[in-house]
Structure 1
Amino acid sequence: MTPAQWRSAGEYFRWNDYSIFYRAEGSGDKALLLIHGFPTASWDFAGLWPELCKRYKHVITLDMLGFGFSDKPRDYVYSLVQQTDIHEALLAKLGVRHIDILAHDYGVSVAQEFLARDSEREIKPYTIDSVTLLNGGLFPETHRMTGTQRLLRSPLGGLIARFFGERQFGKSFSLVFGPNTKPSAAELHDFWILLAHNDGKRIIHLLIAYIDERRYNRERWVEALRRTRVPLRLINGPEDPVSGAHMVARYRSLIMNPDVVSLPGIGHYPQTEAPQQVLAAFFEFQDYLKLL
């Protein structure tokens, strides 16, 4: 499915005067919520979508503010906390009361904020039944930025963003994939289309502020993982230079009774590099939970 086909099957809703793209298949008060990463969009899950929709009566995902087909305001302070607010607004709009979460990269921090809110609230607008995490920076101390991320986060970030092109993107983006699962030229072009839509490359240096937000909220978000009673599974591509095997080692040291599935040879994007393996690991987890 191309990004254009993905978009044509979706809808938009308004959040604080901004237009947010989303896809929702099916209906019901229990749903699977897919949360994408940086710098891509909900289309990351296109390879999983058909099988997930067979399994779940209601599957939901959106392009966060500043990403994909959603609005990309230039004069804006982007926040993972607000991205969580946007997801909650969509859940309320669709009448969802129970969720399973599958999150990747930037989205794992949104999942952590979901867990933090869940532990704080006495009256819960929804119940989190499970959380499955793909590669992502769960711990600031183990997150290894790419060279491009370092440049975008520097004082020259705005200037670099202006001249950031498809060729530079493809070269940098490919580095985080597994050695034998690199994206094709056509796939890289599709990822670029999503980033460049609505002149998105001009705000990429603003989105990168999530790295500092993770550091600021480290205690809140790490403790949310450690203290939650929500069932957790981590599915990880160990060849990922950003949040691969080294991050898993930290996860095992901090999380009690860690449930980890490692996918040999896979990098930062398990859902696109090895969709069938991700589906198998995710469905195995869900089947196990049904037996409890």
Structure 2
Amino acid sequence: MNTNFQEHRIDRGQGSIYVRDYSGTGPAYVLMHGFPDNLHIYDDLVPHLVAGGRRVVVFDFLGFGASDKPAGARYSFEQQLGDLHAVVESLGLGKIVPVGHDSSGPAAVNYAIEHPEHVDSICLLNAFYAESPTAKYPELIELFATTNLKALTQAILRSPEQFAWVLNFQRSKFQEHLTEDQKAYYSKFLGPIIDGNFRNQPSSGPAFAQMTSQLFEELAKNTKRINKMWALDIPVKLIWGETDPYLNYGIAKHLQSLLKRPSLHVLPAGHWLQIDIPEQVAAVMLGL
């Protein structure tokens, strides 16, 4: 499979973001990551999309992965939306398919609301957007999202041992309903991506802490935009791993009810379905 890509760095004022661009045709899939990880969560999915002939762009939000992590930077959902727009503009992508996983759901949906001329359709993979009756957030995220616990969470971030313990607890919870093969691959592939995000210096800790602290505010803000989401007259594919204990099937059903042209695809996978079953996720995205 052709997995050659061009690398770009795009200036965002307070630092530059790292982008990989795989050549192909059609509206480019622009793949976005979530709170604790980076673009490498798509390493197994990208070859299948490229083999399908499509252009694929994947990038790290500012503060994550190979993007800059400048001291004192301010991170927000608004900034991530700006990162996406900067990628589209800098690469001259025209119409895209924003693909949101986990906490990049808001960037995918809000980009379509604010820049409809740039969006062909949307894919959401076990993501969130607005407040949802069945939503349950991972304990790690809930902890960091509870703003009156900031002194505690900052102390945890300053202690690699304590943070590692919390990460390991969360990892075991995410794996509870995976198959044995999926658990083994999770440990071998995803574990090092998340660990590296926080252990390598400069760390993604500040971006993670700032983003999670804004979670509930963002959900409330987007809940007020539900009419604008309903007004989107484009296809939205909801591609969901059915054993995700947190961003569960109920969230997918709720989102489906708020969209004009949704299609819901439930697959035998967990939260990181693009890692568990990349071939099946690609087939749904490509409409095979």
TM range (shorter): 0.7 to 0.9
CA contact (8 A) 2:40 2:193 kept: no
Q: In the aligned structure 2, how far is the partner of 1:144 from the partner of 1:106? A: 13
Give 5+ residue unaligned stretches, structure 1.
1-5, 288-292
1:3 is matched with which residue?
Answer: none
Maintained 8 Å contact 1:152/1:161: no
Matches within 5 A, 1:195-206: 195-197=198-200, 198-206=202-210
> How is 1:52-131 mapped onto 2 (pairs within 5 angstroms)?
52-118=49-115, 124=117, 127-131=118-122
1:229 is displaced (CA, Å) by: 0.5
Residue deviations 1:56-107 (CA, integer Å, cap 9, x gap) = 4521111001211112245343211221111111211111111122221111
- Cα 1:259–1:18 change in 2 (3 A) is same
Structure 2, unaligned runs of 5 or more: none
Cα separation, 2, equivalents of 1:277 and 1:135: 15
Distance 1:221-1:236 versus aligned 2 partners, 3 A rule: farther
Q: 2:216 aligns with which of 208, 212, 215?
A: 212
Matched-pair contact (CA < 8 Å) for 2:274–2:281? yes
Q: Is the 8 A contact 1:74 1:203 kept in 2?
A: no
Look up the equivalent residue of 1:136 and give its one-letter code: A
Q: State the Cα RMSD in Å.
A: 2.5
TM-score (norm 2): 0.84
Q: Describe the SS at the equivalent of 2:262.
A: coil
Q: Retained in 2: the 8 A contact 1:66–1:207?
A: no
Count of aligned residue pairs for this structure pair: 272
Which residue in 1 is equivalent to 2:281? Answer: 278
AA paired with 1:33?
V
**1:282, 1:67 → 2: CA distance?**
25
Task: Name the counterpart of 1:186.
Answer: 188
**Does the residue aligned with 2:65 lie in a helix, a strand or coil?**
coil
- 1:170 paired residue number: 168
Q: Measure the CA separation in 2 of the matches of 1:184 and 1:99.
A: 29
Structure 2 residue aligned with 1:144: 136
Q: Which amino acid aligns with 1:283?
A: L
Residues 184, 79 of structure 1: CA spacing in aligned structure 2 closer, same or farther, 3 A cutoff?
closer
Deviations 1:145-174 (A, max 9, x none): 222222223222211222244453233134
Which residue matches 1:20?
17
**Residues 27 and 55 of structure 1: is their aligned pair in 2 closer, same or farther, counting only changes over 3 Å?**
closer
Amino acid of the residue matched to residue 16 of structure 2? S
Q: Which amino acid aligns with 2:166?
A: Q
Aligned to 1:58, what secondary structure does the other structure show? strand
The percentage of counterpart residues that share the same residue type is: 24
* TM-score under structure 1 length normalisation: 0.83
Name the SS of the counterpart of 1:240 in structure 2.
coil
Deviation at 1:202, TM superposition (A): 4.6
The correspondence for 1:226, drawn from 226, 230, 236, is: 230
Alpha carbons of 1:112 and 1:272: their partners in 2 closer, same or farther (altered >3 Å)?
same
Q: What does 1:6-17 correspond to in 2, within 5 Å?
A: 10-17=7-14
Q: Please tell me whether the aligned partners of residues 131 and 223 of structure 2 are also in contact (alpha carbons under 8 angstroms).
A: no
- Maintained 8 Å contact 1:80/1:213: no
